[in-house]
Structure 1
Amino acid sequence: MLSFKDLGVNHQYCKSLKELGIKNPTEIQEKVIPILLHSKTDFIGLAQTGTGKTAAYGLPILNGIDPKSSAVQALILSPTRELVQQIKKQLFKFTKYSEEKIFVEAVYGGEKIDIQINRLQRTTHIIVATPGRLIDLINKGTINLRSINTLVMDEADEMLSMGFKKELDTILGHTSGGRNTWLFSATMPEEIQRIISKYMAPNAARIVVNKNSLVNANISHSFVVSPISEKVNVIIKLLDERSEERGIIFCRTKLGTQALTKELKEEGYSVEALEGDMQQKERDKVMRAFKNGNLQILVSTDVSARGIDVNNLGFILHHQLPEKIEYYTHRSGRTARAGKKGDSIALVTPKETSNLHNLAKSLGISIKELKM
Structure 2
Amino acid sequence: MMTFEQTGIKPELLSAISEMGFEQPTPIQEKTIPHLLNNKNDLIALAQTGTGKTAAFGLPILHNCDVNKKDIQSLILCPTRELCLQISRDLDAFSKNLKGFKNIAVYGGADIGKQIRELRSGGQVVVGTPGRVHDLIRRKVLNVSQIRWMVLDEADEMLNMGFKEELDAILAETPAIKQTLLFSATMPREIANLTKKYLHSPEEISVGRKNEGAANVEHHYYVVQAKDKYATLKRVADNYPNCYAIVFCRTRMETRDVAEKLMEDGYNADALHGDLSQAQRDYVMNRFRTGQLQMLVATDVAARGLDVNNLSHVINYSLPDDPEAYIHRSGRTGRAGKSGISVSILHMRETGKLRHIEKLSNKRFERKDVPGGEEICEVQLMHLVEKVAQVEVNDSKIDPYMPAIMEKFAGLSSEEILKRFVSAEFNRFLAYYKNAPDLNVRGGNERKTFEKRGGRGNDRGDRGGDYGNENMSFSRLFINAGKKQNLNASRLLGLINEHSKRKNVEIGKIDIQRKFSFFEIDSRFEKDLIQSMNSSSLDGHALEVDRVTGEERVSVPKIKKKKKAAMDQPRAKRKRTKK
Q: Is the shorter-chain TM-score for this pair beyond 0.5, marking a shared fold?
A: yes
Q: Give the direction of change, closer, same or farther, for the CA distance of 1:212–1:156 in structure 2 (3 Å limit).
A: closer
Q: What is aligned with 1:272?
A: 270
Secondary structure of the equivalent of 1:299?
strand
For residues 63 and 250 of structure 2, the distance between their equivalents in structure 1, rounded to whole angstroms, comes to 42
Shift of 1:234: 0.4
For residues 90 and 243 of structure 1, the distance between their equivalents in structure 2, rounded to whole angstroms, comes to 31
Q: Give the direction of change, closer, same or farther, for the CA distance of 1:309–1:119 in structure 2 (3 Å limit).
A: same
For residues 331 and 305 of structure 2, the distance between their equivalents in structure 1, rounded to whole angstroms, comes to 11
Q: What is aligned with 1:67?
A: 67
Shift of 1:176: 3.2
Q: What is aligned with 2:42?
A: 42
Q: What is aligned with 1:336?
A: 334
Q: What is aligned with 1:171?
A: 170
Q: What is aligned with 2:29?
A: 29
Q: What is aligned with 1:186?
A: 185
1:83-94 alignment runs, 5 A limit: 83-94=83-94
For residues 186 and 217 of structure 1, the distance between their equivalents in structure 2, rounded to whole angstroms, comes to 13
For residues 23 and 180 of structure 1, the distance between their equivalents in structure 2, rounded to whole angstroms, comes to 28
* Unaligned ranges ≥5, structure 2: 371-579
| Letter of the structure 1 residue corresponding to residue 203 of structure 2 | A
Q: What is aligned with 2:134?
A: 135
For 1:239-289, what per-residue CA distance to the aligned partner results, in whole angstroms no more than 9, with x for missing partners? Answer: 001121210100010000000011111110000000001000010111111
* Unaligned ranges ≥5, structure 1: none
For 1:275-334, what per-residue CA distance to the aligned partner results, in whole angstroms no more than 9, with x for missing partners? Answer: 001000010111111110111100000000001111111101101110001110111011
Q: What is aligned with 1:281?
A: 279
Equivalent of 1:263 in 221, 244, 261: 261
Q: What is aligned with 2:318?
A: 320
For 1:100-128, what per-residue CA distance to the aligned partner results, in whole angstroms no more than 9, with x for missing partners? Answer: 32110000001111110011111210000
| Letter of the structure 1 residue corresponding to residue 137 of structure 2 | I
Shift of 1:213: 7.0
| Letter of the structure 1 residue corresponding to residue 111 of structure 2 | K
For residues 232 and 262 of structure 1, the distance between their equivalents in structure 2, rounded to whole angstroms, comes to 12
For residues 95 and 210 of structure 2, the distance between their equivalents in structure 1, rounded to whole angstroms, comes to 35
| Letter of the structure 2 residue corresponding to residue 52 of structure 1 | G
- Displacement over 3 Å in runs of 4+: none
Equivalent of 2:228 in 215, 227, 230: 230
Q: What is aligned with 1:107?
A: 106
For 1:133-178, what per-residue CA distance to the aligned partner results, in whole angstroms no more than 9, with x for missing partners? Answer: 0011011111111110100000000001011010001111111321
| Letter of the structure 2 residue corresponding to residue 44 of structure 1 | I
Secondary structure of the equivalent of 2:45?
strand
For residues 292 and 342 of structure 1, the distance between their equivalents in structure 2, rounded to whole angstroms, comes to 19
For residues 61 and 155 of structure 1, the distance between their equivalents in structure 2, rounded to whole angstroms, comes to 18
> Does the 8 A contact of 2:180 with 2:199 survive in 1?
yes
> Does the 8 A contact of 1:104 with 1:124 survive in 2?
yes
> Does the 8 A contact of 1:224 with 1:347 survive in 2?
yes
Secondary structure of the equivalent of 1:146?
coil
> Does the 8 A contact of 1:212 with 1:364 survive in 2?
no
> Does the 8 A contact of 2:211 with 2:360 survive in 1?
no
For residues 96 and 108 of structure 1, the distance between their equivalents in structure 2, rounded to whole angstroms, comes to 23
For residues 297 and 286 of structure 1, the distance between their equivalents in structure 2, rounded to whole angstroms, comes to 11
For residues 72 and 82 of structure 1, the distance between their equivalents in structure 2, rounded to whole angstroms, comes to 22
> Does the 8 A contact of 2:7 with 2:33 survive in 1?
yes
Secondary structure of the equivalent of 2:5?
coil
> Does the 8 A contact of 1:222 with 1:346 survive in 2?
yes
> Does the 8 A contact of 2:146 with 2:175 survive in 1?
no
Shift of 1:68: 1.5
Residue identity (%): 44
Q: What is aligned with 2:426?
A: none
Shift of 1:212: 7.1
For residues 301 and 145 of structure 2, the distance between their equivalents in structure 1, rounded to whole angstroms, comes to 32
Q: What is aligned with 2:52?
A: 52
Secondary structure of the equivalent of 1:67?
coil
> Does the 8 A contact of 1:213 with 1:365 survive in 2?
no
> Does the 8 A contact of 2:13 with 2:59 survive in 1?
yes
For residues 70 and 221 of structure 2, the distance between their equivalents in structure 1, rounded to whole angstroms, comes to 54
Secondary structure of the equivalent of 2:7?
coil
| Letter of the structure 1 residue corresponding to residue 276 of structure 2 | M
TM-score by length of 1: 0.98
| Letter of the structure 2 residue corresponding to residue 344 of structure 1 | S
Q: What is aligned with 2:391?
A: none
Secondary structure of the equivalent of 1:272?
strand
Greater Cα shift, 32-41 or 170-179: 170-179
For residues 360 and 89 of structure 2, the distance between their equivalents in structure 1, rounded to whole angstroms, comes to 36
For residues 294 and 277 of structure 1, the distance between their equivalents in structure 2, rounded to whole angstroms, comes to 22
> Does the 8 A contact of 1:95 with 1:102 survive in 2?
yes
For residues 302 and 105 of structure 1, the distance between their equivalents in structure 2, rounded to whole angstroms, comes to 27
For residues 251 and 45 of structure 2, the distance between their equivalents in structure 1, rounded to whole angstroms, comes to 31
Residue 367, structure 1, aligned to residue 365, structure 2? yes
Shift of 1:35: 0.6
Q: What is aligned with 2:439?
A: none
For residues 353 and 270 of structure 1, the distance between their equivalents in structure 2, rounded to whole angstroms, comes to 30
RMSD over aligned CA atoms reads 0.9
| Letter of the structure 2 residue corresponding to residue 122 of structure 1 | S
Residue 153, structure 1, aligned to residue 152, structure 2? yes
